[in-house]
Chains A and B, each alone.
Chain A
Amino acid sequence: MGYEYDWSVVLEPSLWLDAIYITLVYGLGTTFVGLVLGLVLGLILISSFAPGRWLVQLFIGVFRCTPALIQIVWFYYAFPIVLGVNLPAWLAAGCGLTFYMAAFSAEIFRGGVQSIDARQWSACRSLCMSYWQTMRYVILPQTFRRMTPAIVNQAIIQFKNTSLLSVVAVHDLMYTANTLTAQTYRPLEVLTFAAVIYMLMIWPLASLTNRYERRTNERLL
Chain B
Amino acid sequence: MSFIEIENLTKDFGEFRALNGVSFQLEEGKTAAIIGSSGCGKSTFLRCLNMLETPTEARLRIGDKEVRFSNGQTLGKEREAFGFRREMAMVFQSFDLFPHMTALQNVALAPNKVRKLPRKQAEQQALQLLDRMGLRAKAGSYPTQLSGGQQQRVAIARALAMEPKVLLFDEATSALDPELVGEVLDVMKVLAQDGRTMIVVTHELHFARDVADVLIYFDKGQIAEIGPPAELLANPKTDRLKSFLTRYNHVLAN
Contacts and interface: CB of A to CB of B under 8 A. Distances in A.
Contacts, number: 63
A143 to B, nearest CB: 10
Nearest to B83: A128
B100 A126 contact: no
A129 B52 contact: no
Q: How large is the interface on B (under 10, 10 to 19, 20 to 34, 35 or more residues)?
A: 20 to 34
B114 A128 contact: yes
Interface of B: 47, 50-52, 82, 85-86, 89-90, 92, 94, 96-100, 109-110, 113-114, 142, 144, 158-159, 162
Contact of B96 (A119, A128, A129): A119
B115 to A, nearest CB: 9
Contact of B98 (A133, A138, A219): A138
A142 B96 CA distance: 13
The 3 closest A-B pairs by CB, nearest first: A127-B110, A123-B96, A126-B90
A220 interface: yes
B181 to A, nearest CB: 21
B114 A122 contact: no
Contacts of A133: 113-114
A54 interface: no
A185 interface: no
Nearest to A117: B96
Nearest to B46: A126
Nearest to A124: B110
Interface of B, helix, strand, loop or mixed by DSSP: loop
Contact of B52 (A125, A141, A221): A125
Interface residues of A, number: 20
A127 B100 contact: no
B203 to A, nearest CB: 20
A142 B158 contact: no
Interface string A119-160: 110111111110001000110011001000000000000000
Which of B94, B96, B114 has the most CB atoms of chain A within a 10 A radius of its CB? B96
Contacts of A124: 110
A83 to B, nearest CB: 41
B86 A128 contact: yes
Contact of A145 (B89, B100, B162): B100
A126 B47 CA distance: 9
